[in-house]
Amino acid sequence: DMTSIFSVKGLVAAVTGGGTGIGREVSHALVAAGASKVYILGRRGVELDHCKTTSSKPSAIIPIICDVTSRNSLDAATAQIRSEAGYINLLFANAGINDIPKAVMDPSSVQSLQEGLQTIVDVDMYAEVYRINTLGTLETIIAFLALLDEGNRRNILFQTSQVLITSSITGTAKATYGNFGYAASKAAIGLLAKQLSGILMPHHIRINVLVAGIYGQGMTAGMLQMLTRDDPTKKGSIQRKYIPAERAGSVIDLTGTVLFLASRAGGYISGAEIVSDGGLLAVPPSWAVPTPLSEFFGDIS
């Protein structure tokens, strides 16, 4: 039965950053595809509640206020899940923030480039981005290991437990618009996933990374306003020189990839980075935006 191959019926998941953007869409998709429980973790209760009430099956979505940079907060969240569900099969580690440059970076001369970089680079902001995106992801994975292990022990699903981490092509692209802290935090996640994959392999806990390109949801939504005034997910709405697929990623592209990885169909995949970018990284040199960068991005403060 081909339908069952892509089903997540009976799956129990935890989604960090679950109230908005990618986390919200993935939570809704998991429930719609048959997941029995999806715990959504985030810092803002209003957004978590909205995610729950707008789901096709609100009773299957359980909001938990949680700060991924706090061990106490993570311990409280995992304790609640342990008492209610007892285990999880999937951890979707998605919480993260970006560091939006506060000024235009003009690389037309060394002097202007230096001045721009001095304005853009904010040590405190970079530390916060790294604390949430990288250390927060690591702390989250550590906190959920026992629940993932219990998911394997109960043997409810054919596929073994999995951690799926949201990353970004920014962590591998050569082009930049000045969000160096965010890019470095996502590059670090790639290495973190590889190392954890080896450590957790003997315990049958898989680690995979979803490397997202420009999507209509989440952090890249604002960037799309600079690329097109049309529906960005409509084919032909974006010039091919920017994205070969000629469009931004849609909810279907995003959730379809996650459902594949979470289902029996993706059960043999471990230690992989799945790039979903419409071919953007294939544009030499790995996303060649026009120069000077200020002509393309302008003042995005």
Task: Determine the 3-state secondary structure of 219 from DSSP.
Answer: helix
Amino acid identity, position 225: Q
CATH second-level architecture of 2-297? 3-Layer(aba) Sandwich (3.40)
Residue pLDDT, tens place only, 196-223: 999 999 999 999 999 998 887 656 666 6
* CA–CA dist 92, 95 (Å, integer): 9
Looking at the chain, which runs of residues are DSSP E strands? 12-16, 37-42, 61-65, 90-93, 162-168, 206-212, 273-276
Q: Does the pLDDT value for residue 243 go beyond 70?
A: yes
Residue pLDDT, tens place only, 123-144: 999 999 999 999 999 999 999 9
Assigned token pair, 185: 């935090």
Amino acid identity, position 178: G
Residue pLDDT, tens place only, 6-34: 999 999 999 999 999 999 999 999 999 99
* CA–CA dist 173, 98 (Å, integer): 16
This prediction has a pTM of: 0.90
Q: Does the pLDDT value for residue 172 go beyond 70?
A: yes
Say what the pLDDT of residue 281 is: 87
pLDDT band for 297, please (50, 70, 90 cuts).
very low
First-last CA distance in the chain: 52
Q: Give the residue numbers marked as catalytic.
A: 167, 182, 186
| Best CA proximity match to 117, nearest among 221, 126, 219 | 126
Residue 200: which residues within 8 A CB-CB, separation 6 or more? 145, 163, 206, 207
Q: Does the pLDDT value for residue 272 go beyond 90?
A: yes
CA-CA-CA-CA dihedral for 133, 137, 138, 140, to nearest 10: 140
